[in-house]
Amino acid sequence: MTNAVLTALPTYTMCTFLLPKTVIKQIDKFKKHCLWRGSDINSKKPSKAAWKLVSLPKDCGGLGALNLYIQNESLLLKHLHKFFNKMDIPWVQLIWTYHFSNGSLPISSNKGSFWWKDILKTLNSFKGMATATIQDGSTCFFWIDLCNGRLLSVQFPELCSFAKDINTSVHSMFNSKDITDLFHLPLSSQACSQYQQLVSILQDVTVQMGNDTWTYIWGSSIFTSSKAYLYLTGTRNVHPAYKWLWKSYCQPRRNFFFWLLLKDRVSTRAPLRRKNMELECYSCVHCLLDTDETLLHLFFHCPFALACWNTLGMANLVQPDVFQTLTAFRDHLQKPFFMEIIISMCVGHLVFQE
């Protein structure tokens, strides 16, 4: 619901404009209300998980709700893809002719219309995921862009510190009559050594007619906003149980409940105590062990829960940790639908039967 409707509504606008943060914040507010409180507009029910956690991709332990800030940026990056590849589009030719006909390149967002300034705010993200294959060298910086697999400011830091203009383009560098004119002289001994290495590298590079080609971190020169979104979101090392969960064919609401279980966001009595909620008792009501009703106890260690798991012959496989327990259950069941069995037991029997 949140992705299919509330996130889809502003998508057309986000393809062209950078949305104000207040607008995104208000849309996120509606998304949170839809997810945690449903159709009751007057409900004050608190959220069970932070929105940053919910907006992580499912493979990274989240619910996959789109982060509108990152989604907006990834959609706008396609304009920089068109610009730096000098596509045959009127607005691209106009900006190159009007603002950068002198051979300069965009380095900040202080030039152009409000729309172009907003596009340039994503420049660092674009350069972080793209590398240039040099043709005429007119679209990439010599020192600070990743060109032909080299980032010269990192490879030759001492020599770079002597450069008169760190923002010179590859095209300007190769068209200079004397390359030494681009440096503050005299060079230090280390910079001189790096200069000689640089000259030997430049001898193997030829500048020719044609537009530079920009290739992206996913190994293609074709830009897609979905891959840019995944790159900007980043990756996290999480237990494979999350992948097992979202590959199961259980009802979505059961998968959602089990996700809350994996995140320890189920409203057992232990987290209620952490939130300073006063209850008559914080112990498990299903056993006489006077044990706090934690998630692990309620679903795996309680005598009632152990009796349920024993019907599947897995009571002796329960471990001190949820993820270790799931791994032991998986190895025991040896079924492609093992996750459906575990989720159905947790949600269908342990919850509703209690």
Confidence of residue 218 (pLDDT cuts 50, 70, 90): very high
Structure tokens at 9: 């509504």
pLDDT in tens, 72-91: 999 999 999 999 999 999 99
The dihedral through the CA atoms of 75, 77, 83, 84 has a sign that is negative
Q: Closest Cα to residue 143, out of 102, 123, 172?
A: 172
Residue 313 in this model has a pLDDT that exceeds 70: yes
Query: How many CB atoms neighbour CB 12 within 10 A?
Result: 10
Q: Where are the domains of the chain?
A: 2-66, 72-232, 241-351
Question: For the whole model, what pTM was predicted?
Answer: 0.86
Confidence of residue 193 (pLDDT cuts 50, 70, 90): very high
pLDDT value, residue 354: 45
pLDDT in tens, 148-159: 888 999 999 999
pLDDT value, residue 349: 59
Q: Minimum mean pLDDT among 79-93, 154-168, 279-293: which range?
A: 279-293
Mean pLDDT of the chain: 88
Rounded CA separation 233/216 (Å): 16
Residue 263 in this model has a pLDDT that exceeds 70: yes
